[in-house]
Amino acid sequence: MSQDFQKYVFPEGKRYNSFVGYFKRKYGERLQKIVLDAGFTCPNRDGKVGRGGCTYCDNAAFHPSYSTSGKSLYQQMDEGIEFHKVRYRTTEHYLAYFQAYSNTYAPLERLKQLYEEALSHPQVVGIVIGTRPDCVDEEKLDYLAELAKKHVVIVEYGIESCYDETLVRINRGHDFETARRAVRMTAERGIDVGIHLILGLPGETRQMMLDACDKINDLPIRSVKFHQLQIVKGTRMEQEYAECPQDFERFSLDEYLDFFTDILERLNPNIHIERFVGEVPPRFVNETPWGLIRNVELIRLLDKRLEERQTWQGRLLESSDN
């Protein structure tokens, strides 16, 4: 077995497959997401499959101040572009990121109106749609496949866990087979698929989280976002954690860097890593055990840990094939 990770075409000299690198290679430039709130809700909030939403969720903790449903999409996009120009001065084109709640949870005609309004912005070249796997169907996906012939189209599914008992406990309102089916239906149409997963949900051991890599590797996905569980004030999970802290796997920063390195070693090297940590503003949480460290520094620490361990994404898969 070769020990040279450089035989993989990992972008930017990294030891894992970066989604930023994917954009640069495919489109020749960085495409920055502009987060949008189009006024959607979720079926586990309005009573279709449940009430109260996911037990960990306060959507206000996950989107920037310019993104509010009281503003038009055009205003949110204009303000978002101005916001990102401060950091990404050379960025010329953007992706409209429908993020808040479930962004396919509406009749198709309403979706067409919203998506096409976003795509009409002169600096927007595509859309990213965050949604749930139980909020898509053949008709909606056929429409997105047509859009994808002319624009960048990515569908991001909140899977959160590969274990049905966890999904019940956090009030997701769907099982893992629903997620698997939605991902395959989407990928079969040539649409890029991303998924979200949370590390540290109640009842899941570290070994369960590592074993979930096999299920992820079996999915036809382009990218994955991992988030460490952050317990947000006022959520039902905050109460659950107070009552049953022993049910939660919690990580120090050093432990998390090592644990995520363990995950990367088990992950298909063709899957792009879009995120390996989440950032919730400090005002939404009761504690910040890692301090106020920013994402750019966390990425640097992960790069350093991979180098220290002389390992890379997919290394253990390569070992098992030889």
Owner of token pair 């036809």: 220
Q: What is the structure's pLDDT at 63?
A: 67
The pLDDT, as a whole number, for residue 322 is 52
The type of residue at 114 is: L
CATH number for the domain harbouring residue 187: 3.80.30.30
Residue type, position 206, single letter: R
Name the pTM for this structure.
0.93
- Helix, strand or coil, per DSSP, at residue 119: helix
Dist CA 137 CA 16 (whole Å): 33
Q: By the 8 A CB rule, do 119 and 102 touch?
A: no
Predicted confidence at residue 68, as pLDDT, reads 75
> What average pLDDT values come out for the chain (322 residues) when binned by 10 residues?
58 87 80 92 93 87 69 91 82 92 97 97 96 98 97 97 98 97 98 98 98 98 96 94 96 97 97 92 82 91 97 86 55
What's the domain range around 98?
5-320
Phi, psi of 122 (to 5 degrees): -65, -20
Pick from 29, 153, 23, 21: nearest CA to 91: 29
- Which ranges in 45-187 belong to alpha helices (H)? 73-85, 108-119, 138-147, 164-169, 176-187
**What's the domain count of the chain?**
1
Residues found in the chain: 322
- What is the pLDDT at residue 84? 85
Q: What is the pLDDT of residue 61?
A: 61
